A and B are shown apart, each in its own frame.
Chain A
Amino acid sequence: MRAKSRFIVFFVAMLAAAAVYAQDSAANGSSSPPPPALPGIPEERLSINGYFNVESDYQPSAYGLGDHNASVDVDVFELLINYKGPDKFRVSAALDLEHGTDTEFIQGHLTTGWLFMEYAHSDALKLRVGKFLTPFGVFNEIHGAKNLFLARDEPRATLKPQKIAKNGYRYAPKWLAGAEATGELSFGKQSIEYIVAAGNGDQTETNPYEQDNNSKKATTARIQYSPNDNLLFGVSTYHDYLTVAGASNTGHVTSYGAHAHYTPGQWRFLYELTHGSRRLPSALLTGTESGQVAEAGYVFGKYTPYVQWQGLNTSLGTTKEKANAYIGGVDVALGRHFVYKVQDAYWTGSSLNKKFDFPGRHYHEINMAFFYAF
């Protein structure tokens, strides 16, 4: 009860702060001037972008996978640095400072979100080497950029199944170190974007972005077709062999995805389907999993209310786990690049889902975030 009242006070304070800001920004109504160029480097060569996200969750009930303490998470400060040379080369780096990084006390994380160099032969062919976000499905490549999707978080059913099912696993690792070829072919309003990549894949024994202990490489590909500005279809695939020292059998991860994004007028619709199988090295059983996410939203000026459904099915031997989420929320544009998000997520798991091994097997969680992009 005490926790609940504390959360309500916190929630009201956050809303009040948002309202004050909204009034201030409306009163000022001015657009900010472009950032000055750094001395010595031409403005068109170097760019710095990024985003900052602070969020909080509150699970009112005693049982569940959520946060009962309404913790405030200084989620991420992401810095994106691009240097575009006078030739056809570009170096791109994303630095993620997560959870109030403080190395002195071994708290939080500092991660390279990506780090690659690109050679742009033409619009239809760009070659990259380095570390990338694996281009599988809709969400992995945009990961924490919360202004690019409706719900507070990326969907677990299609991106992070391991969070809602004991036998769940990622369809593709978050990152891949290797080489990528990408490009876009456009015909009038229509366009086709492709990306193919090969890299070290996922490993537990070595730094997968440095020493590869696996002679076989992971491969991934995605094609997106856009018949016009409002509609996009995509399919993706990922395959990797899994090995560990001393294991006699090689395992594998094979995943497929399909997605569609439709934005007629003020409406926002998205559907994503993922399916995959995985066998760990030396394991006898092959696990499978399928995830879906469907969402719809409507932009009313500053407010974008939305609903989302997620469904996950995993199977390993006789163990079949299911999980569903029913989410409703609203995004409030407090400024051009400043978004406040609040939602209620209702999660439920099947009787064999070991992650939901608590009374009732379901729970609500209120999620919110303050997100600023620059």
Chain B
Amino acid sequence: MKRVIVVLIAALLASAAVLGESGNVQVIVNPANPLTSIDKTDLSKIFLKKLSRWPNGQPTQPVDLPEGSSARAQFSSQILGKAVSAVSAYWQQQIFAGKELPPMTKASEAEIVAYVKANPNSIGYVSTASVTHEVKVLALK
């Protein structure tokens, strides 16, 4: 019995550590963007192309990480509420019915930061370690 409890506690600690890591994804925008925070639902809509304009009327330009990226897995799960594979299936449905196209993908977090820095209407996400002073981090509401 004691051994079972020890194993359970260890498992709980391990899962807590994993959850802690998943909190490391930061949402970034260009410093010219007047927003300082963003609602999770709106963020999800932007990345699913259901919300295509910023409050000032400018087009949103979401930029995504590749499907294999761990930051993307965390973002998909926490913000979009779906696994990356489910999001991929959603985009296939959209593309093959002639509807919307998925956000542009950049190969690395450094490229995401560079793109957001260069495009005033863009929005991306990266791990905390990749954030630079050249982009603005949005707080999640």
Interface residues of A (CB under 8 A from B): 30-31, 33-34, 43-44, 47, 49, 51, 80, 82, 84, 92, 94, 114, 116, 120, 122-123, 132-133, 141-142, 145, 147-148, 184, 186, 188-189, 191, 229, 336-337, 373
Contact = CB atoms under 8 A, between A and B. Distances in A.
Contact of A120 (B51, B52, B82, B92): B52
Interface string B91-114: 011011110010011110000000
Given A31-B66, A82-B101, A142-B97, A123 B81 contact: no
Contacts of A337: 88, 92
A114 B66 contact: no
Interface residues of B, number: 27
A188 B53 CA distance: 16
A229 B77 CA distance: 13
B98 A141 contact: yes
A92 B66 contact: no
B130 to A, nearest CB: 17
Contacts of B105: 34
A373 B105 CA distance: 17
Contacts of B106: 34
B67 A373 contact: no
B85 interface: yes
A327 to B, nearest CB: 21
13 contacts: A31-B66, A33-B107, A43-B104, A49-B95, A82-B101, A123-B50, A141-B97, A141-B98, A145-B96, A147-B92, A188-B41, A336-B85, A336-B88
Contact of A133 (B41, B92, B98): B98
B53 A122 contact: yes
Nearest to A86: B59
Interface in B32-54: 41, 45, 50-53
Contacts of A184: 50
Nearest to A34: B105
Given A31-B68, A229-B82, A186 B45 contact: yes
A74 to B, nearest CB: 19
B93 A34 contact: no
